[in-house]
Amino acid sequence: MNIYQLFGKRGGGEYMNAKTLHMVTFLLVVIGGINWGLVGLLNFNLVNLLLGFMPVLEKVVYILVGASAVYLVMGHKNDCKICGKK
Q: Are 47 and 35 in contact (CB under 8 A)?
A: yes
| Residues of the chain under the 50 pLDDT cut | 13
Residues spanned by the domain of 49: 28-86
Residue 62 lies in a domain: yes
How many domains are there within the chain? 1
Residue 17 lies in a domain: no
Residue 1 lies in a domain: no
Residue 21 lies in a domain: no
Confidence at residue 18, expressed as pLDDT on a 0 to 100 scale: 78
Confidence at residue 13, expressed as pLDDT on a 0 to 100 scale: 47
Residue 4 lies in a domain: no
Residue 11 lies in a domain: no
Question: Which residue, 63, 80, 75, is CA-closest to 8?
Answer: 75
